[in-house]
Each structure stands twice: as structure tokens, then as C-alpha cells.
Amino acid sequence: MFSLTVRRHFMVAHSLPREVFGPAQALHGATFVVEVMFRRRALNDDAIVLDIGAAGNIIEDVLAGLNYRNLDEHPDFAGRLTTTEALAEYIAQAVAAKLRDTDDGRELTGIDVTLRENPDAWATYSLDLTV
């Protein structure tokens, strides 16, 4: 199994209105480092998993809809909590959708999205793309 990981960051505002989240119940800002790992069984004809530049562009396109946004007002999250875990899943699904109809995208076996809130806390969502 081969993998390629590309990292970017984005900033949001959001609230997590449940008692379990303590002070994060109130509107606050968060800066996330996102790492997207693309997995496939064999390299393509160019001996790569996916072009790094293309992967970065896809991630940036997905993050553009989130960056500097108040997620409490974002239509994709209406009625949903925007926890780190939920955001990782959202990003994985959005990246997968952009790759679905590409040659390399059809060969991917999975995408793992890790969101780091700080050096000591992160969450990962793994999306299996095999049939």
C-alpha cells in the first residue's frame, strides 16, 4: 500500500452548544492543520499515488468553503455539531467527491483526514474507497 499526505491549514469560528464542551460552548475561533492522506495499492504510470500539486489544489478548494467562516452559519452544518471529528469526516467526503471521476481518484483505496487543533490533540477520519 502506498500513501501520499498533503498538509494545509484553515481557520474557523464555531460554537459547540452542549455542556460537555465547557467553554467551547460559546462562539470561539479555531485554527486547524489538516493532513489528507491518499492511499492506493499500486502507483500510477507516473510512479506516484497522486500529483502533489493536484492534491493540494483539491484540498485548498474544499477548505476555501470553510476558511474564515463561522460554521454556525454554514449551510452544510445546519443542525450539526462541528467537532474536530465531524469536520474531518466532512473534509474526507468532500475531497473524495472531487476525486471520484478522475483516473487516479478511481484507483484510490482510501483517504484519511487528520485535523490537528494543537500539537497535543487531533482527530482522524478514515474513508474506505474500495468497493
Task: Give the C-alpha distances (Å, rounded to integers) separating 50 from 29, 55, 78, 128.
Answer: 32, 7, 33, 17
State the pTM of this model. 0.95
The CATH number of the domain where 55 resides is what? 3.30.479.10
Q: How many domains does the chain have?
A: 1
- pLDDT surpasses 70 at 131: no
d(CA 120, CA 131): 35
How confident is residue 101, by pLDDT bands cut at 50, 70 and 90? Answer: confident
- The boundaries of the domain holding residue 98 are 2-128
Q: What is the pLDDT of residues 102-120, one digit of tens each?
A: 888 889 999 999 999 999 9
Q: What is the pLDDT of residues 25-65, one digit of tens each?
A: 999 999 999 999 999 999 999 999 999 999 999 999 999 99
Calpha distance 91→114 (Å, rounded) = 10
